[in-house]
Structure 1
Amino acid sequence: MARSIDYGNLMHRAMRGLIQEVLSRVAEEGLPGAHHFFITFDTMHPDVEIADWLSDRYPGEMTVVIQHWFDNLIVTDEGFSITLNFGNSPEPLYIPFDAIKTFVDPSVEFGLRFETQDGEDDGSEEDESDDAPMEEDAAEEPEEHRDAEVVSLDKFRK
């Protein structure tokens, strides 16, 4: 029997469930209003399925945007598949929920960040400034691009 409650992993499971619920609703009903998502994921996760040229270009992590155009969004208990447009070239992707590092909806200033539980430091904070987010259609990006803020749950504790 465990000697303590593993709140970190319990919280991660709950947060991944939230992402699953949101994406399931979007798959059924489409994106409501101005909602859109920036999803950063580990491209080296063993269950991620992306084109070789994308994994070569983003050999650690990649950010995709679900906003103007996407197709074939299918959500399962383990992850989601989606087709996004990269420079007028539709590409299918499969992203397991365990590979997600951040999930942000800048339209409502909502964000989740998954911290590594095994103590490894992958240096992702330093790498984030090197790569701009991959847009599903760069031509349709709004001219006024607002930076998203990742909200820490500590902010709401009393």
Structure 2
Amino acid sequence: MREIDYGNLMHKAMRGLIQTVLTDVSENGLPGAHHFFITFDTRHPEVEMAEWLKSRYPEEMTVVIQHWFENLAVTDDGFSITLNFGNSPEPLYIPFDAVHTFVDPSVEFGLRFETQDFDEDEEEDEEEDEDQAPVAEAKPRGEAEVVSLDKWRK
């Protein structure tokens, strides 16, 4: 019997929201006090980042898009951006399905993704400065939810 997969449909819609927001920022800049904390899985096979960052953040990394960023480009599958890590500009590519959380604390908005679209077990069988902070381990597979903003409040 076929069932409607509401969890994956919700994730697709939420990733579309992130894509729309980042596309607007890439074209028009960050409006007002808006800024983003984006936590992503650095183990995702399509993440592109410097080896020294990958070794510093082997599982998960949080980046902040706020004061200084360059080259923000958004596609259907993810976004690329250059961020400053200790006065060292580094390019990153983050696929949307690697994103665990997306938070804009200026308006108390946040999303959390509890599932991953890639399967780490299959991947194994086939063979994280001021702008980022390590975060808890990846969450187990589950449902989508809105994230509490208490973690990012000052």
CA–CA distance in structure 1, aligned partners of residues 64 and 20 of structure 2 = 18
Match of 2:65 in 1: 66
What is the deviation of 1:151? 4.3
Task: String of CA shifts for 1:62-102, please: whole Å, max 9, x gaps.
Answer: 00000000000000000000000000000000000010000
SS in 1 for 2:107: coil
SS in 1 for 2:12: helix
For residues 117 and 25 of structure 1, do their structure 2 counterparts lie closer, same or farther at Cα, with a shift above 3 Å needed? closer
Count of residue pairs the alignment pairs up: 127
1:86 aligns with 2:85: yes
Which amino acid is the alignment partner of residue 5 of structure 1? I
SS in 2 for 1:107: helix
Q: For structure 1, which runs of at least 5 residues remain unmatched after alignment?
A: 121-130, 137-148, 153-158
Please report the TM-score for the alignment, with normalisation by the length of structure 2.
Answer: 0.77
SS in 2 for 1:71: strand
Task: String of CA shifts for 1:7-56, please: whole Å, max 9, x gaps.
Answer: 00000000000000000000000000000000000000000000000000
Could you tell me the percent identity over the aligned residues? 77
Match for residue 150 of structure 1 among 134, 147, 150:
147
SS in 2 for 1:81: strand
SS in 2 for 1:150: coil
Match of 1:101 in 2: 100
Moved over 3 A (4+): none
CA–CA distance in structure 1, aligned partners of residues 147 and 78 of structure 2 = 21
Q: For structure 2, which runs of at least 5 residues remain unmatched after alignment?
A: 120-127, 133-145, 150-154
For residues 117 and 26 of structure 1, do their structure 2 counterparts lie closer, same or farther at Cα, with a shift above 3 Å needed? closer
Contact 1:12 1:114 in 2 (8 A): yes
Which amino acid is the alignment partner of residue 24 of structure 2? R
Match of 1:11 in 2: 10
Contact 1:8 1:117 in 2 (8 A): no
Contact 2:101 2:111 in 1 (8 A): yes
Task: String of CA shifts for 1:114-136, please: whole Å, max 9, x gaps.
Answer: 01268x9xxxxxxxxxx8x8507
